[in-house]
Amino acid sequence: MSLLRTFAAALAAGVVLAVPARAEAGATGATTANPQNALAEVYNLRHFTHPNFTRIVVDIGAMREYASAETRNPGRIVVDILQARINPIVREDAIPEKCDYIDMIRIVQKSDATVRVTADVDFSRIKRYQVYHVFDPFRIVIDIYPQDKAGTGAPTPVVPVAPASGRAGTPAKKPEPAKGGYSMARQLGLGIRSIVIDPGHGGFDPGCLDGAGLQEKDLTLDISLKLRDLILASTKLEVIMTRETDILVPLETRTVVANQRRADIFVSIHINAFPDKRRMGIETFYLNFSSDPKVNELAARENFTTTKTIGEMDKIIRKIVQNSKIIESRDLAERVQGSLVKGLAAQYSDIKDLGTKGGPFWTLIGCEMPSILVEVSHISNAKEAQRLRDEAYRRQIARGIFDGLMAYVQSLGKG
Ligand SMILES: [Zn+2]
């Protein structure tokens, strides 16, 4: 099957790559029944410049056909990914540093179902490049190799020489460092502008299961989308979702996304599960050590998809906790936990408040803003699993988290 179609011939700039979409007649009904479902999400665009080459990686939620091509004037390497859409968390362009042969890497939604990645390159400085794909998870890789420095003719400066007249010309628009952004906002009374909602798990990581078809990844996504809609409907806050469909986003990436977008609040939504099926209730975590074996057991489960070892993690947490926003995160956790429990208890009997706690959760590590992880109910408890199946219950959970977030936002407004 022709997964990869490479166009060796150079295309004139602006020519659309006319590659037929994959889901034609004869394809499985699942892909044609609902075109939206057939679109895979492009959820990350990464690049690294090594001494000998630059690697661009496009992470995609599912295997997709793609086509690569190049134009010489202007110099471009173009990869079109079919039946795909860009997750809004992906930054649209990037300028590789320490790399004089790539001007810019861009990603755009070329058409309804095609995502285009373009590297603006100087072909006179490139020896060769290759476009290929790797599985588990599926990603497309573009490796670009520069000419050997010794082999090139007249030396060209890597960085344009700064104008002699001091500060007059500083065209290089570097983003300011993100650190301290939130605290500064708080000190200045600027308040909260954006919230990251992180639906736990996704893709081949289902999270916890009830054995009867209920999956944590579906519930967290549903609650997260409900929460997003509530925020967008009644506030002017920006909402950034770490995923909007059933895809796997590495835990580390979720935090990086929040930091890159300079979000002000990070909320990760999960469903609890315990071997003791009688255990039920709601608990909210912020990043810290824990001496509670139950908390560490839960964190170990939630950290499942990361490859980092627990030992490595302990070291990192010790380093990070000193600089993290523990007090603000705990404040946020208490407000969300309080509203969530209060809202549910007004409508349901037997709502257990398990409180707020510190815990070593990977997804909270490295967040530069107040961040919490909410375990909204137990899938392992028959009563709560039953309730989780009910949309009204999930809506009330979203409402409870929303009320807590708003209480936190308003508390900042008072300065
Ligand atoms: Zn989880």
Q: Which of 71-85, 115-129, 283-297 shows the lowest mean pLDDT across its residues?
A: 283-297
Question: 160-172 in b/e burial notation, b at 16+ Cβ within 10 A?
Answer: eeeeeeeeeeeee
Residue 183 has pLDDT above 60, yes or no: no
- Using CA atoms, how far residue 67 sits from 5, 24, 120, in Å, is 5, 17, 17
Question: 27-54 in b/e burial notation, b at 16+ Cβ within 10 A?
Answer: eeeebeeeeeebbbbbbbbebebeeebb
Mean pLDDT of the chain: 77
Look up residue 104 and give its two tokens: 């810019």
| Ion ligand 1, residue ranges at CB < 5 A | 200, 207, 270, 302
CA 214 to centroid of ligand 1, rounded, Å: 13
**pLDDT band for position 153 (50/70/90)?**
very low
Look up residue 147 and give its two tokens: 């000419």
**Residue 380, C-beta contacts closer than 8 angstroms, at least 6 positions apart:** 208, 210, 272, 273, 274, 275, 276, 277, 279
CA 363 to centroid of ligand 1, rounded, Å: 10
CA 344 to centroid of ligand 1, rounded, Å: 20
Q: Which residue has the higher pLDDT, 415 or 227?
A: 227
Domain with CATH 2.60.40.3500 in the chain: 4-151
Closest Cα partner for 102 from 66, 63, 136, 74?
Answer: 74
Omega before residue 88 within 30° of 0, cis:
no
Long-range contacts of 180-189 (CB under 8 A, 24+ apart): 181/262, 181/368, 182/262, 182/264, 182/325, 182/368, 182/369, 182/370, 183/325, 185/264, 186/412, 186/415, 189/412, 189/413, 189/415
CA 283 to centroid of ligand 1, rounded, Å: 12
Q: Which residue has the higher pLDDT, 337 or 163?
A: 337
- The distance in angstroms from the start CA to the end CA of the chain is 61
CA 360 to centroid of ligand 1, rounded, Å: 13
Q: What is the pLDDT of residues 272-316, one digit of tens each?
A: 999 999 999 999 999 887 778 788 778 877 876 444 555 556 666
Closest Cα partner for 343 from 388, 391, 282?
Answer: 282
CA 309 to centroid of ligand 1, rounded, Å: 18
How many C-alpha atoms does 233 have within 13 Å on its Cβ side? Answer: 8
CA 395 to centroid of ligand 1, rounded, Å: 19
Look up residue 17 and give its two tokens: 């790559």
Q: Residue range 205-234: average pLDDT?
A: 95
Q: Residue range 368-390: average pLDDT?
A: 95
- Using CA atoms, how far residue 232 sits from 188, 198, 402, in Å, is 24, 16, 11
CA 272 to centroid of ligand 1, rounded, Å: 7
For residues 21 and 5, give the distance between their C-alpha atoms in angstroms, rounded to a whole number.
12
Residue 135 has pLDDT above 90, yes or no: no
Give me the CATH code for the 181-413 domain, please: 3.40.630.40
CA 112 to centroid of ligand 1, rounded, Å: 32
Parallel, antiparallel, or unpaired: how do β-strands 126-134 and 139-146 relate? antiparallel
Q: Which residue has the higher pLDDT, 399 or 139?
A: 399
CA 271 to centroid of ligand 1, rounded, Å: 5
CA 368 to centroid of ligand 1, rounded, Å: 21
CA 202 to centroid of ligand 1, rounded, Å: 10
CA 205 to centroid of ligand 1, rounded, Å: 10
Check if the beta carbon of residue 46 is closer than 8 Å to that of residue 59. Answer: yes
**SS3 state at 366:** coil
CA 250 to centroid of ligand 1, rounded, Å: 13
Domain with CATH 3.40.630.40 in the chain: 181-413
**H/E stretch holding 139:** strand 139-146
User: What is the per-residue pLDDT for 277?
Assistant: 94
Q: Residue range 28-43: average pLDDT?
A: 56
CA 124 to centroid of ligand 1, rounded, Å: 50
Residue 7 has pLDDT above 90, yes or no: no
Q: Which residue has the higher pLDDT, 175 or 134?
A: 134
Question: 150-159 in b/e burial notation, b at 16+ Cβ within 10 A?
Answer: eeeeeeeeee
Check if the beta carbon of residue 279 is closer than 8 Å to that of residue 380. Answer: yes
Q: Does domain 4-151 fall into CATH 3.40.50.970? A: no
Report the length, in residues, of the chain: 415
Q: Which residue has the higher pLDDT, 64 or 390?
A: 390
For residue 240, how many other CB atoms are within 10 A of its CB? 20
For residues 295 and 290, give the distance between their C-alpha atoms in angstroms, rounded to a whole number.
7
